[in-house]
Structure formats: C-alpha cells, structure tokens
Amino acid sequence: MHPSEPVSTQVVTENIGLLLSLASAQGVAAANAVLRPLELSSRSFSLLEVVAHADGASQRELADAIRLDPSQIVTLLDTLERRGLLERRPNPHDRRQRLVVITARGRTLLEEASGLVERSLDDVLADLAGSERETLRDLLHRVVHRQLNHVS
C-alpha cells in the first residue's frame, strides 16, 4: 500500500462480510441520492416495497422481513402513513394487531421510486455484465431466503 493512496482504494479484502457491507453501502448511498427528492430513503422505500408485496402484513412481520427493530418500523410507518402512502387497519382476527396496507398514492410513488432506484443500481453495478447481475441476484436470493426461513 502506498501512503498517498486513499484508504478506499487500499481496501482489498477476501472478507466476504466486509465486501457485502461495502457493496450494500454503495447501493444504499446511490438509492438515497435518487430518493431524496421524493422524500424517501432506502429504508422507507424498502418498507413501502415490502408492504406492496405483502399487503396486510403486521408491523412485526414487516420488521422481520426487512431486518429492522420493531421500534424503527413504527417510526417509518408513522412517516409513510402521515404522507398517505400506507394505512394501518385493525386485524379482524386479532384486535391487538394492526395490518399495514399500501394506498393508491403509495403505489404510484413506489412505481416512480422503483425506476429511480433501478437506474441508480445500474450505476453501482456498471462493471457487471447482465448475466453476472442475474447470478449475483440469484446468489443473494439464496442467502436471504435461507436466512429468512431460519428465523425463529
């Protein structure tokens, strides 16, 4: 390593955990940059996306799905609900529980945000060929789904 090189170019590692973390940080930063004008963050976008696909999920299920503490989910849900992007409704089978559903306004914003995030990830993944991106997606699906299936 040359002392005049920036630390970021000196980080050459075989540590897959660190590489995953660094790649995630790049994706999150790129997503946050394009989502800012929509008053979203990568976390609120991810939550909105999960709600859209699991309409009627409980707050706890959403927290488990995106690996956040339930208190963090409540704050994100409060913000998205105030903006009219989702609603919390009583669970007809359990009065103590609220189910989260996306609104029409939320779906419209999600569609716009999804396009922006997809393009931002194109920049992050620019060095990967299309087939490499597919392979990366498939591998990450396997890792994530295995972990989700082993959550107690």
Read off the CATH number of the domain in which 111 is found: 1.10.10.10
Domain membership of residue 93 (yes or no) is yes
Per the domain annotation, does 27 fall within a domain?
Answer: no
Report pLDDT for 13: 72
Query: Which residue, among 42, 50, 64, has the nearest Cα to 101 in the 3D structure?
Result: 50
Give how far Cα 114 sits from Cα of 3, 118, 134, 146, Å.
Answer: 41, 6, 18, 25
Tell me the two tokens of residue 1. 């390593």
Is residue 106, in this structure, part of any structural domain at all?
yes
pLDDT tens-digit readout, 45-88: 999 999 999 889 999 899 988 888 988 999 999 999 999 999 99
Structure tokens at 32: 């946050």
39-48: average pLDDT = 96
Please tell me the total count of domains within the chain. Answer: 1
CA distance 31 to 19: 18
The overall average pLDDT reported for the chain is: 89
Return the structure tokens found at 69. Answer: 């503490």
Answer whether residue 63 is part of any domain: yes
- pTM score > 0.85 for this model? no
pLDDT of 112 above 60: yes
Instruction: Kindly state whether residue 95 falls inside one of the protein's structural domains.
Output: yes
Q: Under DSSP, is residue 124 helix (H, G, I), strand (E, B) or coil?
A: helix
H or E stretch covering 58 = strand 57-58
Does 31 map to a domain? Answer: no
Of 97, 114, 99, 91, the C-alpha closest to 38 is 114
Classify residue 12: in a domain, yes or no: no
pLDDT at 148 over 70: no
Position 7 pLDDT exceeds 80? no
* Any domain includes 21: no
Domain containing residue 61: 40-149
The predicted structure's pLDDT at residue 4: 63
